[in-house]
Amino acid sequence: MLSRAVMGGAAGLAAVATLLLLLGWSPGTTADPQVPCYFIFGDSLVDNGNNNNMASLAVANYPPYGIDFDGGPNGRFTNGLTTVDVIAQLLGFDDFIPPYISTRGQALLSGANFASAAAGIREETGRQLGGRIPFNGQLQNYQSAVEEMVSLLGDQDSAANYLSKCIFSVGMGSNDYLNNYFMPAFYSTGQQYSPEQFADDLIQRYSEQLRTLYNYGARKVVLIGVGQVGCSPNELAQHSPDGVTCVEEINSAIRIFNAKLIRLVDQINTLDGAHFVYIDGYGIFEDIINNAGSYGLSVTNRGCCGVGRNNGQITCLPYQAPCANRDEYLFFDAFHPTSAANVIIGRRSYRAESPSDAYPMDISSLAQV
């Protein structure tokens, strides 16, 4: 497997070697992927270029984004790898899953990334940022991809059999809180719904969307729980009294959603052949913050680049110089983890290091089902 994380210099080469070993790679090893394809849905945490040509503030195709990625800026909202890049490598793919915007024909048979920065479960989420592809739009793009795959594979039964062996990952919901419910200047949902009611609304919509995914062939589906949005530099800058203490109002609302999402997994798994799993992104993130030193991290409340208190006012400015010790930072900008953090999250998503990391199984086990 080939890593594209490039740090530069002797220290950088050592960091690359360490990263590859963490990903299970050793010199001279090659292996077929554990699954034939990997399809990705989500938001800016995993977008790798679908927003690049949109009229949108939610783009990251400029430096310093991609500073540690071979080829430079590419649409990823981090300095190097995203969590799904790490998962793709651990699944045995020789390259990262490409964005759907540039993936057609035979290339679709290995998978595609449909994620879009600022996207939400709700259609209006993120609208203040401009162009984005909500989850419904991502599903429409996937349906078009399935139609193309049916043509490539010969018929619907062949396509259905092929897709049933693939891994699908979906990480939605963060923006429905960050860029909707807790943004009263643009949205009224915070006044219309209690946290319990809003979570119910999201889960009802999410359930219908995930059943659409199932109806179009998805059987092995990874649902990533919403992380600790209340601990992001942006929320710390705006609402934390000391710039360190996480915003409990936000995190408590997210915990309500995640608890309902676990129950949704159980419901969907009653469908014929369904193997949906839940990854506890919230718990993994909490553990990283609480035990940062053991992961080699020393800064958990500031962006590596950005503006204002905690570097949390906005995302990185074009050509802004980021911090030099990026591998010690949890966040690269006001919202998004560094490549170092994404390696930890991706690794624990693939193979659980705690019983609570994944339910009812981790991705490595799901690949073998």
C-alpha–C-alpha distance, residues 262 and 273, integer Å: 18
Active site residue 44: yes
- Taking each helix axis as running N to C, give the angle between helix 83-90 and helix 339-350, from 0 to 180 degrees, rounded to the nearest 10: 50
| 71: amino acid identity, one letter | G
User: Which residues make Cβ contacts (< 8 Å) with residue 90, sequence separation at least 6?
Assistant: 23, 24, 346, 347, 350, 351, 363, 364
User: One of 110, 240, 275, 336 is an active-site residue; which one?
Assistant: 336
Active site residue 272: no
| 338: amino acid identity, one letter | T
How many C-beta neighbours within 10 Å does residue 73 have? 18
Are 42 and 169 within 8 A, CB to CB?
Answer: yes
C-alpha–C-alpha distance, residues 314 and 26, integer Å: 39
Active site residue 333: yes
User: One of 3, 43, 44, 280 is an active-site residue; which one?
Assistant: 44
User: One of 85, 176, 327, 333 is an active-site residue; which one?
Assistant: 333
345 is written with which tokens? 């999250």
Nearest CA to 266 out of 168, 154, 359 is that of 359
C-alpha–C-alpha distance, residues 304 and 326, integer Å: 7
Are 347 and 358 within 8 A, CB to CB?
Answer: no
Catalytic annotation, residues: 44, 333, 336
